[in-house]
A and B are shown apart, each in its own frame.
Chain A
Amino acid sequence: MKKTDLTRRGFITRGCAAASATLAMPYIIPSSALGKDGVVAPSERIIMGAIGIGGRGSADFRAMLDQPDVQCAAVCDLKTVRLNAAKKAADQKNGNSKCATYKDFRKLLARTDIDAVLIATGPNWHSTLSMMAAQSGKDVYCEKPCAKNIVESLELAEVFERTGRVFQAGTQRRSIAHFNFCAMVAQTGRLGKLTELHYRPSRWGWGQTGMTGWEAEQPLPKDPQFDWHFYLGPAAERPFNTKYLRGGGFEKGGGMLGYGVMEWGSHSVAECQRANSADDTVPVEYHPMAKDGSATAVHANGVKMIVRGTGWDEALSHCPVRYVGERGWVETGDSGLVQASSPDLIADRRRGIRGTDPSSHVRNFFNCVKTRGLTNANHFVACHSHIACANTCTALFLKRKLRYDPVKHEFPGDEEANRFRSEARRAPWRV
């Protein structure tokens, strides 16, 4: 006789709310070192610079200026209006007018008084610029997507490990309470053995795999200081067209790929990887789009990572994730809503912040700048989550199943897929 499961609980159902913080935030440091106990001594201040301060970058920048132990000494942007606005905000915080402005980021990176930089340029620049900043001795908070392909992802991890600089990917959900909570529920075995990790990078277009090509030439913007060469950065040469200024899908992919999973997937995949305690690896199998409109990647431990655009509770809002185990499931999204197959699974949930506020992620970054610790979205996390995104994108593009070796970081015996591993940077840019 079969009965319904009235009372049998999963694993831990009480008293473990802080696991999210513990498991997800490896570094807890004394508040005296964080400037929380009043005036911060100049020697304890972190001097930062910001490169690319429009759109998402301005939200990150504001969160950084709000930190009591952080002082912004320089800003850099190709767009004069943005540059002036950022300088004004920094000067206001500093109580002077000394914040320097640059069009050429190399001048900012050459300054030896700057400890850390925010990189929130167009995604085309993210990885190359992050690595150049690390090489010049700066710690880096970089907006996502942080790399365009497998090799860039590996180089990013390698360069930050070699230089010893601190890296934080702008995947701030790694520091947001309700996402942390759900990861903890999965990591501590409360769901039983994990079986599936579901995510939706964006409502529309996640299955697209294209990238921008060569649009017809248009006149340069009116801003006389706008430099197309700098804007284009390491992307292959092409004439100016206003379409490229809109961000969107501009060169986010590697080789031929971009957009879709390569864009917002860097958030959601990083979440799923964490739930699977798999920040140090990537799935070994990637399937093309299935008839139901989903695409599945499979980890070596058998856990499936499924990207799907439909079937979500819209109350979860953007970037929803669902973790499924043998004993139940839990899901969350940007709305802050946390849902589960059984209320017991989330009974100890504490109310957390909602939405995409980067403050706690930014704080985690600056804590690690001081302790030299690993951030919540460090270079290893970014490397593996971006490779998983790139590989998903490759399977979608080639419309066939791919197998991947997460140690050698190649598709064994699959030359066609392997040729998507990297893309030459336009000169003179290199790392």
Chain B
Amino acid sequence: MRQRAYLILTVLLAASLLSPMALLHAAPSEAELIGVLKSDAPKAEKAITCKKLAVWGSKDAVPVLVPLLKDEQLASWARIALEQIPDPACKKGLRDAAPGLKGRMLIGVINSLGVLQDAEAVPMLITKTADADPEIACAAAAALGRIGGDKATDALVKLLKHSNMELRSTAAYACNVSAEKCLKAGNGAKAISLYGTVAKAEVPGQRIREATEGGVLARGEAGHAMIPNLLASKDMDMFQVALRLLRRVPGLKIDDKMLATLKALPRSRQETALVALANSGNSQALPVLIDLSKSISKEGQRAIVSSMAKIGNASCVPLLAKHAGGADPELAETAMISLVVMRCEGIEESIISELKSAPPAQCCALLKIVDYREIKEGLPLAAKYVNNQDKSVADAAVSALAKLGSVEHIPGLVGLVAKKGPDPALIKALRTISSRNGAKSLPALRPLLQNKESDIRREALHCLASAGGPDALAALVAAINDKDEGVSDQAVRALSTWPNVWPDDPSAGEPLLKLAKDGKKQLHKVLALRGYAEYVRTSKKMSPADKFTAAKEIMKLAAGTPEEGKAIALLATIRTEDSLKILMQHTSSERKEEAFAAIFQLVEVSADGIPKDLRRQAVQQIMEGSKNRRLKKRAAELLGRIK
């Protein structure tokens, strides 16, 4: 009968019984799952069924799960379900099963009662702590620790005097766990008492360390006074506990006793303690860190400087500025990062204040911080320092101006260019500011255009291109006729890249086409043609028909020149039947491979609006005419898709 029931269930679960994995991914009804456990199904299936009941089972499954606790192979699987089903019936089932179990199966049930924190199991568990099998006694002690409560902890404290060291250690650990529970429940006195009892017991050092640390933390502020003694302890274990406490205690006050202890520590210990303190996130430690860090090694100093990124405040700025401008590169770099990352009120004011009177190396570092942190209040100082005799300071100031400056800073920079020549840093700054402020920059840039030095006029053109706008464009076009050939060439270059910088500006198209047709030099014609092709490609205002007309114009101008390839590539981006036809005409020219590639691109990506027959014909041309094997293979695949 049971076998038959199993067969029926097998049919019901046919899809999910193919493998244990498949079973896991299905969610049949609880009744079906219970049916499997009641049947003669193989243990493999019963095991997986237990896991499914862990997710989809209810108290109804408990009566079939509990008997499995006696089954050596299925007990662990049944416990998986019984620990998960959120119903008191599970705890009761586990409790009731315990008397009939031995060895590992009993330990499993004890462990589960501990996990479920079943207070009703405490009397039974206390009994089990006296079991002759030390594994069972230890399991019971551990479970009592998880459950907690007065009865459990009283029993655990008694076990601290047991003759078996393993049981004493387990009980001590359980006491520490219980103490944490007491603390969370607001019963600090009980927690302190438990920790104190464990710390005095004859248990392994690890338990004593845990209890000592727990005891200090449980006392709150009152416990802080214990830390100096631990720090000064000759016992390395206690010193290590102190290190952890320095890190863990929130808002630890550094009083006179603590300060004296820190100062009196041997150097290696002092350094380690300071580093622990630095990593505590406790800003109250800053004065002592700033003070004592002067007398420790560079590695120690670096650790402390690094910690200021998290806990630093305005008071750290002088020390950090000193290190940032100091001779040690690693320390300088770490200080720079802390200055960049620190987030606290008054930091930026303090940086500005330091900057006012800093020596050159520090000044340079602080100007970089003004740049990185984008401190606008630092702009007047940066504007002042651009004239500094120390080049590194001047460069840092120029860089800060580039990042933060506005139109009002352009005249000063223009004046410097006129005085010093087209220094790359100055030009870069001018371009950056112009790029950010657009056409408003133009009046301030004009003196550069009128400079008698041709190299300055050349650089001025790039600044104009960065600013953009109709006046800048007109100035560029006018500069094409500059008497200096270098300036003229540069004007053409700037004009030809205008569509890259200003893709939405339609006004460059006309002068570019005109120059491509009538340029005085072949170089000008070529650059202008490239610029015009880019203009057509990126234009959002031109219709496909307009673009096709323009592309034909480019084809005509580029005929027989290396630029013809650009025109072919442009056609590949214009989604019209006419584009494809023109490209197909080029498949017998010298540029046939470029034409084949363009055809493929056009047909594959931009097929809309082009008749299927024409597309097929074009792809067929690739397959027949191209020497590029990869392209031919892809064309064959594409042809299949078109069909």
Contact = CB atoms under 8 A, between A and B. Distances in A.
Interface stretch (B108-116, B314-322, B451-459, B483-491): B108-116
A15 interface: yes
B47 A427 contact: no
Given A2-B503, A425-B111, A415 B86 contact: yes
Query: Counting chain B CB atoms within 10 Å of each CB, which of A4, A9, A370, A416 scores highest?
Result: A4
Interface in A187-239: 188, 209-216, 236-239
Contacts of A8: 432, 435-436
A213 B44 contact: yes
B76 A3 contact: no
Contact of A373 (B75, B276, B309): B276
A256 B51 contact: yes
Contact-residue size bin, chain A (C-beta under 8 Å from the other chain)? 35 or more
A372 interface: yes
Contact of B112 (A209, A374, A424): A424
Nearest to B269: A33
B341 A188 contact: yes
Contacts of B173: 135
Contact of B177 (A32, A162, A424): A162
Given A8-B435, A18-B337, A214-B43, A255 B115 contact: no
Contact of A372 (B72, B77, B243, B336): B243
A16 interface: yes
B25 A22 contact: no
Interface in B37-65: 43-44, 47-48, 51-52, 54-56
A8 B107 CA distance: 66
A40 interface: no
Contact of B299 (A7, A31, A209): A31
Nearest to A399: B25
B244 to A, nearest CB: 5
Interface in B294-315: 297, 299-300, 302-303, 306-307, 309
Interface string B343-375: 000000000000000000000000010001000
A20 to B, nearest CB: 10
Nearest to B214: A162
B20 interface: yes
Interface in A168-197: 188
A428 B431 contact: no
A237 B180 contact: no
A256 B24 contact: yes
A1 B206 contact: no
A397 interface: yes
Given A214-B48, A420-B55, A27 B500 contact: no
Interface residues of B, number: 92
A17 interface: yes
A206 to B, nearest CB: 16
Nearest to B78: A424
A413 interface: no
A6 B435 contact: yes
A402 B104 CA distance: 37
A18 B341 CA distance: 13
Query: Counting chain B CB atoms within 10 Å of each CB, which of A18, A33, A162, A423 scores highest?
Result: A18
A214 B20 contact: yes
Given A3-B435, A214-B44, A214-B47, A255 B55 contact: yes
Nearest to B341: A188
B24 A16 contact: no
Contacts of A2: 503-504
Interface string A1-42: 111101111011011111100110011111111000000000
B48 A3 contact: no
Given A8-B436, A426-B76, A135 B340 contact: no
Interface string B491-511: 000000000111111000000
Given A397-B25, A430-B111, A137 B302 contact: no
A22 B334 contact: yes
B107 A428 contact: yes
Given A214-B20, A238-B47, A430-B111, A27 B275 contact: yes
A18 B330 contact: yes
B79 interface: yes
A161 B225 CA distance: 21
Given A29-B300, A371-B272, A415-B86, 4 more contacts: A33-B272, A112-B204, A424-B79, A427-B111
Closest 8 CB pairs of A and B: A213-B20, A427-B108, A137-B206, A214-B44, A28-B303, A426-B76, A424-B79, A427-B107
Interface of B: 19-21, 23-25, 43-44, 47-48, 51-52, 54-56, 72-77, 79-80, 82-84, 86, 104-105, 107-108, 111-112, 114-115, 135, 139, 142, 173, 176-177, 180, 204-206, 209-210, 213-214, 240-241, 243-244, 247, 268, 271-272, 275-276, 279, 297, 299-300, 302-303, 306-307, 309, 330, 333-334, 336-338, 340-341, 368, 372, 403, 428, 431-432, 435-436, 466, 468, 500-505
8 contacts: A7-B435, A29-B300, A29-B303, A33-B268, A237-B74, A416-B55, A424-B83, A427-B79
